[in-house]
Every structure is written in C-alpha cells, then in structure tokens.
Copies of this chain bind each other. A is one copy, B any other.
C-alpha cells in the first residue's frame, strides 16, 4: 500500500462499461468490460458494476474512492443520471447512492467529457493551468471547462457542451433543435458523410470504410486532395468554436482529444492558422493548443482523480 491511495475509474459507454484501478494517473489493472446490452434494467447493470468493483478491490488493497463517467446529463452533486441517449431505461437513476450502498466506497458520478477534461487537467497536458478548455472529438463532440482553477459545471451541471454550440445561426437543425451545432458537422459520421459526398461528386468510388476519419487521415497523409480538403474543412469549423471559447473564457490552453483528433497535424495545423487569424493579442499570445495526452483511458483516469479529490484526498503529486 502506498501513500497515494488507489481509486477505481469507470467509463460507462453506450456499448460497454470499462473499469480500471488508477494509481497516480496510470491504470494499473483493468476489469473485463461489461456489455451494457446484456442487462435488462439499470438495477441489474449497477449490480454487475458493483461486482466488478468488488473484484478489483479484492485484488488491490487501498482503493479509496470510485468515479464514474457517464455518456449523458448527470446531476453531479446528487450523482443522479438524468438520462442516457443510447442506453435503455436510464432515466433519473440515483447511481451514486446505489453504488455507495453496494460498494461502501465514496462515489462521484459525472459526465464523461468532464471526466476526460479532468484527466487532462490533473494528470495530462492541461496540468497546472487555471483556465482551460478541453474538447473531445468523436461520434459526438464533448467538452469540459476549467476557470479560476475550478471545474465549471453550471446551474444544472450541464456546462461544457462545446459540441452543441453553433457555428451557423441558420445551420443544420440538431438533436435538441439547435441550429448549426458543431457536432452536426464534425462528428465522426458527419465527416464520413461529407467525404463520401465529395468523392462521389468527383466521380470517385469509395466504400464507407474508406470515408472513416482514420482512412481519411491516411489518405490525406498520402496527398489525396479530397481528404486534405475534408480535414481543412473540419479544422475551419472547429476553429470557429474554439475561437468562441477563447473570446468567452480567455483560456491559457485548449486541449483537443478523442478519435478525430488523432488526425494530428491534419487538424492542428489548419486549426491553429484559422484560429490565430481570428483572435486579438490577449487571447492568442501564450495560448496553447494541445493534443490530449490520454486516449480511451481518459474517462477512467479522470473519474478516478475526481473521486479521490471529492473524497478529501489532496491532488496527487
């Protein structure tokens, strides 16, 4: 047992629930993933999660807290999950209370994008910053905001929904009725659809797989002009939202992660030039645009760090 306690971080996804034991920002043990579809009710799934936690605690002494990142709106204070878009039956579930009763650990429940932001802020490339915006680009576009050295959760714990903000006041109508949401242009599927359309218009046949962000990154690195144009387009739209965050929050750094961000320089190059052309001095001088350190494990690492701090353990060295 060490001075720095262990925590368990859980990344609750639309298809599987992953759990890991975290020590100073490193996952030192993984539980086998649970498939969310194997369980008919939230109760049954919560009990399965609790058993996984028990197994991990049995293998590691000194687990002091449990953090859970959820793919939906969460009342952070009460630990109640309002609803999940992709998992049946999850409405107004008091997850924190249920898990605390079953595991006897102090539990924190937050939105998954907040957990990722927390991971980067406490253990990743955002460490030490007091004013930080984190974005995660995947099927959806999520985010988390740190201002004055604190996580900004807002009135109902919904803050940081970067992907729902608009880049076009008369743009596409999104899931919540919002017009021009960034997510509706640069989510995984929207990038693939734009690429498919561009290839088709050029008379080039491409499969769906050829239009995935990963395939488009490979094509662009090989000099494919259509793929390059797609990434520039993604960067231009992303720059609009990042710029808005900068004018509003004047962060020291913007951290960008998630699958789409793995396109690397294809995004970060044009993003930076579109962005810097649209900011004045105090907003761009010293501004850092940083690729995230963590990939798929960010949610677990962030949830674990958040749980330890909420349980009264000081930030790890």
Contacts and interface: CB of A to CB of B under 8 A. Distances in A.
Given A73-B282, A169-B240, A240-B166, A248 B176 contact: no
A285 interface: yes
- Give chain A's interface secondary structure class: loop
A192 to B, nearest CB: 20
A252 B169 contact: no
A152 interface: yes
A285 B147 contact: no
A201 interface: no
Interface in A143-166: 143, 145, 147-148, 150, 152-162, 164-166
Contact of A278 (B179, B237, B248): B179
Nearest to A179: B278
A111 to B, nearest CB: 11
Copies of this chain present? 2
Contact of A154 (B176, B249, B281): B249
Given A240-B169, A279-B176, A250 B82 contact: no
Given A145-B249, A243-B165, A155 B131 contact: yes
A250 B82 CA distance: 15
Contacts of A283: 156, 158, 161
A243 B82 contact: no
A168 interface: yes
B131 A277 contact: no
A167 interface: yes
Contacts of A159: 131, 147, 248-250
A244 interface: yes
Nearest to A288: B155
A155 B280 CA distance: 14
Contacts of A279: 176-178
Contact of A157 (B73, B161, B165, B250): B250
Contacts of A165: 243-244, 247-248
A258 interface: no
Contacts of A286: 155-156
Contact of A155 (B169, B177, B251): B251
A84 to B, nearest CB: 13
Given A166-B240, A240-B169, A243-B166, A177 B248 contact: no
A164 B167 CA distance: 13
5 contacts: A148-B150, A148-B152, A154-B251, A159-B248, A248-B248
The 5 closest A-B pairs by CB, nearest first: A154-B250, A169-B240, A156-B282, A178-B278, A159-B250
Given A161-B247, A178-B247, 18 more contacts: A145-B248, A147-B150, A147-B154, A148-B152, A154-B251, A156-B283, A157-B282, A158-B250, A160-B248, A162-B248, A165-B247, A166-B278, A167-B168, A176-B278, A177-B279, A179-B278, A245-B248, A248-B248
